[in-house]
C-alpha cells in the first residue's frame, strides 16, 4: 500500500503516513484548499436588474481632508478647496453623529496599516452583531458612499426611492439623504 499524497510505502493496516502524516484515506483532492470566494453568484434576468445600483468607482487619491477655510488654502498659495459636505447619521442606539470626509464605522473601528481616515465612529452594540470595523464611508460629488469592510453580518442599504440593496463587500454604494443603512441588528439613517 502507498500513501496517495506523497507516495511513500506504508505497512499493512497503517492509518497515517509516516513520511507526510496524511491519513491513508486522504486524496490529493481532499487536501486541496477551498476557494475562499463565495460561490453563490446569481445571474439576474431582465427587470430584476437595477437601473441605478448606486455603485461608484472613485480613485483613492480623489479624497482629501477638508480644509478649515478656503482662505487658508489661498493664503498659502494653494488652489481653493471647498470643504466636504457634512452628513448627519442617526443611529438606532440613539446616538447622532455629524460626519464629513472619510471614516470607518463599527464596534471598535481600526484602520489597516497605511490607511488614514478623518473620523472613526464607534457603535455601542451589546449583541456584537456589528463587526469591529463594519464599513467605510466617504464623500463623492456631494453624496455619501459606504463600502462594507467584509463584515460578518453584512450591510443593507434602503434608499427612499428604491428597495433594499445588500452591499457586496469592498464595493462603494451611494447613499442619498433619507436612506437607512442596516449593519446587522443596528442601523443608521442619513440626513
What pLDDT, on the 0 to 100 scale, is given for residue 1?
Answer: 84
Pairing of strands 55-56, 172-175: antiparallel
| Same-domain status, 84 and 135 | yes
What pLDDT, on the 0 to 100 scale, is given for residue 81?
Answer: 55
| Same-domain status, 16 and 98 | no
User: What range defines the domain where residue 22 resides?
Assistant: 1-33
d(CA 124, CA 97): 13
What pLDDT, on the 0 to 100 scale, is given for residue 69?
Answer: 42
What's the predicted TM-score (pTM) here? 0.58
Query: For residue 183, how many other CB atoms are within 10 A of its CB?
Result: 26
What pLDDT, on the 0 to 100 scale, is given for residue 75?
Answer: 53
| Same-domain status, 2 and 91 | no
Cell numbers describing residue 81: 478647496
| Same-domain status, 164 and 85 | yes
What pLDDT, on the 0 to 100 scale, is given for residue 170?
Answer: 92
What pLDDT, on the 0 to 100 scale, is given for residue 161?
Answer: 83
| Same-domain status, 21 and 70 | no
Q: Which residues of the chain have pLDDT under 70?
A: 29-84
Question: Tell me: the pLDDT tens digits for 98-141?
Answer: 999 999 999 999 999 999 999 999 998 888 999 999 999 999 98
Q: Is residue 108 part of a domain?
A: yes
Q: Is residue 48 part of a domain?
A: no
Q: Is residue 45 part of a domain?
A: no
What pLDDT, on the 0 to 100 scale, is given for residue 27?
Answer: 77
Q: How many domains does the chain have?
A: 2
Pairing of strands 103-106, 119-122: parallel
What pLDDT, on the 0 to 100 scale, is given for residue 137?
Answer: 96
Q: Is residue 43 part of a domain?
A: no
What pLDDT, on the 0 to 100 scale, is given for residue 122?
Answer: 92
Domain containing 87 — which CATH number?
A: 2.60.200.20
Q: Is residue 47 part of a domain?
A: no
Amino acid at each position: 500500500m502507498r500513501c496517495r499524497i506523497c507516495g511513500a510505502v506504508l505497512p499493512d493496516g497503517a492509518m497515517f503516513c509516516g513520511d507526510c502524516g496524511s491519513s491513508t484515506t486522504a486524496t490529493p483532492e481532499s487536501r486541496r484548499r477551498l476557494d475562499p470566494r463565495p460561490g453563490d453568484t446569481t445571474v439576474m434576468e431582465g427587470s430584476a436588474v437595477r437601473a441605478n445600483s448606486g455603485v461608484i468607482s472613485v480613485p483613492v487619491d480623489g479624497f482629501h481632508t477638508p480644509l478649515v477655510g478656503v482662505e487658508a488654502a489661498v493664503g498659502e498659495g494653494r488652489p481653493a478647496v471647498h470643504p466636504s459636505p457634512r452628513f448627519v447619521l442617526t443611529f438606532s442606539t440613539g446616538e447622532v453623529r455629524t460626519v464629513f470626509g472619510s471614516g470607518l464605522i463599527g464596534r471598535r473601528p481600526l484602520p489597516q496599516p497605511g490607511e488614514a481616515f478623518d473620523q472613526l465612529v464607534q457603535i455601542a452594540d451589546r449583541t456584537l452583531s456589528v463587526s469591529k470595523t463594519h464599513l467605510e464611508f466617504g464623500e463623492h460629488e456631494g453624496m455619501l458612499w459606504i463600502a462594507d469592510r467584509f463584515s460578518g453580518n453584512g450591510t443593507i442599504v434602503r434608499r427612499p426611492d428604491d428597495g433594499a440593496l445588500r452591499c457586496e463587500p469592498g464595493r462603494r454604494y451611494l447613499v442619498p439623504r433619507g436612506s437607512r443603512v442596516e449593519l446587522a441588528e443596528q442601523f443608521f439613517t442619513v440626513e
